[in-house]
Structure 1
């Protein structure tokens, strides 16, 4: 049985594979047996190492995340050939390996593991902003309302949970609000909390809250927003929004 190679770090993936040569448009397998290993040290580079039988020499190829494509060569019907295409850098080119495991059961697992590892490293500065999830919003509404009584829009907007989310990603929430502002009006995203507590916003929420308590106005608002009109009031309107989001999500 072919012994597993001893590497400087435990690989996250390792399987039996052999090298191949590419000449005049023809790919040919080398007869030597070996292992293909992948090591991730937490940087933006994956180290791919081929270790051959009967040699202490490991062939290492650094692969930068986001710059390499990997796939099976579907045209090959006499074996399973994995192709790595490095698109940039000093190692730019194509590299072929033939899988030597007798079973094909794990082939797709190997491929998906490699693709995941080689995906571009996410820029933490561009991560998606925090948004209040539906379950969290439901808990928030329940904590503000009591004994199933209706709630105040003003109280909801000024709650500590909403304020925390607004201050965490003010630019994100401002982008969603600004299209509904009166023409010519702009806000400083950093002042979004203060703006939502301003007198004209307070008046607007009071008017909307009163309208939602009127059954006829409630039905009209629900119809205009493609929501199910069950009951009336702010709480019923918010629950209708949540149910609609669940169905569409």
Structure 2
């Protein structure tokens, strides 16, 4: 079953002098085993949108269903929804609060009353490119790239169907970014539904995810990656998407129907 967002609006501090509209009439369907990138200028509502998906924020107007469960229905155990949707936040250190990596990986399964074996933990570490020596380490002593991968591992520990990445490669060097994209590639192979919030799309050419673009708190584009790129340089620049040399080359390949995939693989 999909995630269904139907006519969702969200306003912060409604009815006060600080009232701020974050989302307006958002309708979006996320099918199982799909991949999406959510784009938009700073303040457009991207982060608010992803926080409504697993009930961190409950919209007053509209409704969200996750595998048929309403996030707004107080009779539902919100843990059932959060067990299905894992969010890897932009700054992984904000997710950590335990003294060892092992304890971080064990916390969510205990919270969701799920069994995780030692072999499961080793498999998760392998998937994110870490070895078992990391289990005894303090997550706050790790490098930025290692922290990011431990954050992903902590989400994988309870095996959610949908995984949201908020700016997954921000602040990382080339090697660190490459490792993150390889993890995402492997998650796609095992059937995870992936949603990525970012300002940058160069590194997504290989994946060609569906694109949701939010402008002035509303959806202004919902379609394929190639159709988004074919909007052209002027339109993408207006949307604050940097039309890099890599994107220009890919745009030209689309316009001229030339297959250049090998040039865009990490």
- Give the structure with higher Rg (CA): 1
Identify the TM-score tier after normalising by the shorter chain.
under 0.3
Query: Which TM-score applies when normalising by structure 1?
Result: 0.19
The structure whose RCO (Cα within 8 Å, separation 6+) is larger is 2
Query: Which TM-score applies when normalising by structure 2?
Result: 0.18
